[in-house]
Amino acid sequence: MRQAGRSLPEYRRVRADVPMLEACARPDMITEITMQPVRRYGVDAAIFFSDIVVPLKAIGIDLDIKPGVGPVVAEPIRDADGIKRLREIEPDDIPFIREAVGQLTGELGNTPLIGFAGAPFTLASYLIEGGPSKNHEHTKALMYGEPELWDEIMRRLASITVGFLRTQIEAGASAVQLFDSWVGALSAEDYRASVMPYSSWIFNQLSEYGIPRIHFGVGTGELLGMLGEAGADVVGADWRVPVDQAAERLGPGKAVQGNLDPATVFAPWEVVAERTRDILARGRSAEGHIFNLGHGVLPNTDPDQLQRLTEFVHEQSAT
């Protein structure tokens, strides 16, 4: 999950004088930061160090990742002229991605590397709002009020996302995760009509590679079935829906990923252990279960608690 590294002293050391987007464009840094949680915790897979806005920056959108805030876009995109700035991404725009993935597959050995990208709705929200948003009001205004512009922005973003993921896969990533983090802000009808077609197209484009495709959003209890229907092999759920119920909502042929509340690791160890045991037990009713946090690691998390959690999950899964 996002920011696994941010709670680590070794991450803070490496990042001390390097802005986030610069770190994301330097293969040596990408490789080092991706490896840090793998070395420390011995997790079963590595998540590529990058950000969902990296491909947008790479095609020339003026944006920055502000510490403590997140992505901020200099000129929000809200009309046809703005949308034209969303050109196709070419492999030459992101040579550092290819290089870092190549280095990592060498270093990781048998540990799989999960590549990722942002899904069109979540990317559109940052671009249209100009930064993180609670209510996504400009995004919804465009979606409801200007369906042709909405279609154009979503098509262009879907294409950029596929380009970004293809680069990672062709360089050696062994699974991909599509983050539609903020799609839980939508009703089921709006999701089906205005978002799902574009995410489906992305999963379809990737089917030729035959690698696992994971789909994740926050607050998506009502949408879980559709996140699977969009074409994912695995659907990530946050902590609001128990894993066995999530699996039921997904139906046959899908695995579920999740879903310990990231705040739980601040509680005493006994609570963490009990909640984790419960999630693992519920996961046994699913066709497949990947244990994970229900969202990103919180920055003040105690690394020792995560270490203990990883060991506990390994122990419990071995029995």
Q: Which residues are catalytic?
A: 2, 6, 15, 51, 126
Q: Name the burial class of residue 84, with classes exposed (0-12), middle (13-18) and buried (19+) by CB atoms within 10 angstroms of its CB.
A: exposed
Q: Measured between alpha carbons, how far is 214 from 125 in angstroms, rounded to an integer?
A: 21
At 251, the amino acid letter reads G
95 binds ligand 1CP (CB under 6 A): no
3 binds ligand 1CP (CB under 6 A): yes
- From 45-53, 193-201, 226-234, 278-286, give the range in contact with ligand 1CP by CB under 6 A: 45-53
Binding residues with ligand 1CP: total (CB under 6 A):
23
Among 32, 51, 93, 229, binds ligand 1CP (CB under 6 A): 51
Token digits for 17?
Answer: 């004088």
DSSP code string of the chain: -TTTGGG-HHHHHHHTTS-HHHHTT-HHHHHHHHHHHHHHH--SSEE-S--TTHHHHHTT--EEEETTTEEEESS---SHHHHTT-PPP-GGG-HHHHHHHHHHHHHHTTS-EEEEEE-HHHHHHHHHHSS--SS-HHHHHHHHH-HHHHHHHHHHHHHHHHHHHHHHHHHT-SEEEEE-TTGGGS-HHHHHHHTHHHHHHHHHHHGGG---EEEE-SS-GGGHHHHHHTT-SEEE--TTS-HHHHHHHH-TT-EEEEEE-GGGGGS-HHHHHHHHHHHHHHHTTSS-EEEEESSPPPTT--HHHHHHHHHHHHHHHH-
Query: Whole-number minimum distance, CB 281 to ligand 1CP, in Å?
Result: 26
Which of 229, 231, 239 minimizes the C-alpha distance to 295? 239
Query: Whole-number minimum distance, CB 147 to ligand 1CP, in Å?
Result: 25
- From 67-75, 81-89, 197-205, 241-249, give the range in contact with ligand 1CP by CB under 6 A: 67-75
Q: Measured between alpha carbons, how far is 223 from 119 in angstroms, rounded to an integer?
A: 15
Q: Is 115 annotated as a binding residue?
A: no
- In the complex with ligand 1CP, the residue whose CB is nearer, 130 or 163, is 130
Q: Looking only at residues 274 through 303 of this chain, which bind ligand 1CP when binding is defined by CB under 6 A?
A: 295-296
Q: Is 51 annotated as a binding residue?
A: yes
Among 30, 47, 56, 94, binds ligand 1CP (CB under 6 A): 47
Query: Whole-number minimum distance, CB 310 to ligand 1CP, in Å?
Result: 14
52 binds ligand 1CP (CB under 6 A): yes
In the bound state, the residue with its beta carbon closest to ligand 1CP is 70
Phi, psi of 73 (to 5 degrees): -105, 125
Query: Whole-number minimum distance, CB 33 to ligand 1CP, in Å?
Result: 6
237 binds ligand 1CP (CB under 6 A): no
- In the complex with ligand 1CP, the residue whose CB is nearer, 57 or 156, is 57
Q: Is 237 annotated as a binding residue?
A: no
Q: Is 4 annotated as a binding residue?
A: yes
- From 50-58, 98-106, 142-150, 263-271, give the range in contact with ligand 1CP by CB under 6 A: 50-58
Among 49, 96, 121, 291, binds ligand 1CP (CB under 6 A): 49
x/- contact string, 160-199, with ligand 1CP (CB under 6 A)?
Answer: -------------------x-x------------------
Applying CB under 6 A, which residues contact ligand 1CP? 2-6, 15, 20, 47, 49-52, 65, 67, 70-71, 116, 122, 132, 179, 181, 295-296
Q: Which residues are annotated as a binding site for substrate?
A: 2-6, 51, 126, 181, 295
